[in-house]
């Protein structure tokens, strides 16, 4: 009799464990606004946030250019320091869309940083132009 009670108890516990493991869990994460599949790679993005990121990058480039043209390299440096914060928001999406454009933007940003430290107006403006054209290209596509 003791053995029967032991087997029934063990069976009940096993069944409860299996039922608990089998219950579906509710997801608490928010689904992205859009999901695109390109070349076997799934890319999730929120269009408003991505476009806002590109707008912020363009604004940083424009403000930096204005400061450099005025000869105010300190202000230009302060403006360009904001580039990294804006770039982080769209960087992965750009890398997924086009590694060539991603590398061009990274290289141009490095060029601008170095030229700002050296206070080389021509190189800064050249780098900013490269950044501006690549940002415009990738934000459209």
Enter the tokens of residue 27.
């997801």
Taking the CB of residue 43, how many other CB atoms lie within 10 A of it?
15
The structural domains of the chain, with segments of one domain joined by +, span 46-140
Chain segment 61-87, per-residue pLDDT in tens: 999 999 999 999 999 999 999 999 999
DSSP-assigned letters across all residues of 103-125:
HHHHHHHHHHHHHHHHT-HHHHH
101 closest CA partner among 134, 63, 131, 130? 134
Task: Report if pTM > 0.95.
Answer: no
Fold of the CATH domain 46-140: 1.20.120
Query: Buried b / exposed e across 112-131, counting CB within 10 Å, b at 16+?
Result: bbebbeeebeeebbebbebb
Q: What is the pLDDT of residues 109-135, one digit of tens each?
A: 999 999 999 999 999 999 999 999 999
């Amino acid at each position: 009799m003791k053995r029967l009670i032991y087997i029934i108890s063990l069976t009940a516990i096993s069944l409860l464990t299996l039922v608990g493991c089998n219950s579906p869990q509710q997801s608490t994460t928010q689904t992205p606004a859009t999901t695109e599949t390109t070349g076997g790679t799934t890319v999730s993005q929120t269009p408003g946030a991505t476009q806002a990121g590109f707008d912020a990058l363009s604004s940083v480039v424009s403000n930096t250019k204005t400061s450099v043209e005025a000869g105010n390299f300190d202000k230009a440096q302060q403006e360009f320091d904001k580039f990294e914060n804006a770039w982080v928001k769209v960087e992965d999406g750009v890398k997924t869309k086009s590694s060539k454009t991603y590398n061009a933007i990274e290289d141009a940003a490095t060029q601008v940083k170095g030229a700002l430290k050296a206070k080389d107006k021509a190189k800064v403006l050249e780098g900013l132009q490269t950044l501006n054209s690549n940002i415009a290209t990738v934000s459209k596509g």
